[in-house]
Amino acid sequence: MLYMHDLWVNWFEGEENGYNVCRFHEWRKEDGIELIDQIPLVRVEHDLFDFIENDLQDLPLSFLQSIRKKTCVKKNQERQIIEYAAVVTNGTDVLVFDTLGYSLPVKKSRLIPRQERLALEMVQGKVPDTYIIEESVPKEHHILSLEPGKMAGLTRRERQLKQLLMMALDQLRHSDHPEEIRYWLTEWDPIQYPYIKHLSTHEAWDRLYEETRHGWSNQHEDLCEKIVKGQPFFETIWQEENAHQTQHMKSQN
């Protein structure tokens, strides 16, 4: 088995979509970067790589057994063994995962570019290990887990805010004040008000969702800022993302 050493990782926990496991250029100073002393490197087939990267289901038992207790980290000068963790690659992309002792990839990370290149070089010419994915549930994308294409080309901040907007829209759909839906659709597209006022609540929400789930723009950002106002949990996420943006802009100057 191949091993990598002194690996820098930036864990994203509980992410079922690979687009939320940020690439190195999107890592932030506030992220908790960790160092792994030793970890196995496994070349797998594309299906299993995609399953690990873009899902949160049980991994093949034979795969877990092959990597069991082969990862170690040092904490407070003590060597700790990790139950199930590995670097996986399909020959073109690389990902690290840790199951936290479970059977699914709870924590995921990308690698820094130098270590990513090293991983790809190490498996060059190596035949992928074959593992059968058993009893998996077909993945379904929805408002709180958008298709990768809906997040393509967006920055980390834009993806976070878009997810925040989708959370707010999902809450709006179940609101006790259905008239709010037509109000927010009008905020989104005021020119269409004469038409919007005749829409049913269901039609108005469907239209708002359909139009906002594509891309990201100043129009999206304005709607997101307004719709989360007065909702402490959502406002906190909004403020944190804007604080990161401010810090980033200062560091650029």
pLDDT digits (tens, 9 = 90+) for 53-81: 999 999 999 999 999 999 999 888 889 99
- Candidates 193, 153, 44, 39; CA nearest to 107 is 39
Backbone φ and ψ of 181, nearest 5°: -65, -45
- Candidates 61, 114, 49; CA nearest to 87 is 49
CA 145 to each of CA 56, 98, 149, 164: distance values in angstroms, whole numbers, following the listed order: 12, 22, 11, 11
**CA–CA gap between residue 88 and residue 81 (Å, rounded):** 19
**CA–CA gap between residue 213 and residue 225 (Å, rounded):** 16
Cβ neighbours for 235, distance < 8 A, ≥ 6 positions apart: 228, 229
- Candidates 171, 196, 195, 202; CA nearest to 182 is 196
Tokens of 167: 């959370």
End-to-end CA, the chain: 46
* Residue 45 burial (10 A CB sphere; 0-12, 13-18, 19+): middle
**CA–CA gap between residue 21 and residue 10 (Å, rounded):** 9
Tokens of 59: 């991994």
CA 212 to each of CA 4, 26, 30, 224: distance values in angstroms, whole numbers, following the listed order: 43, 24, 30, 10
**CA–CA gap between residue 2 and residue 86 (Å, rounded):** 10
72: β partners: 38, 81
**CA–CA gap between residue 189 and residue 32 (Å, rounded):** 40
CA 56 to each of CA 28, 68, 76, 103, 204: distance values in angstroms, whole numbers, following the listed order: 24, 19, 31, 10, 33
Tens-digit pLDDT profile for the chain (253 aa)? 999 999 999 999 999 999 999 999 999 988 999 999 999 999 999 999 999 999 999 999 999 999 999 999 988 888 999 999 999 999 999 999 999 999 999 999 999 999 999 999 999 999 999 999 987 888 999 999 999 999 999 999 999 999 999 999 999 998 888 889 999 999 999 999 999 999 999 999 999 999 999 999 999 999 999 999 999 999 999 999 988 877 766 666 6
* pLDDT at site 175: 84
Instruction: State how far Cα 29 lies from the chain centre.
Output: 18
Asked whether 67 and 105 are in contact (CB, 8 A), the reply is: no
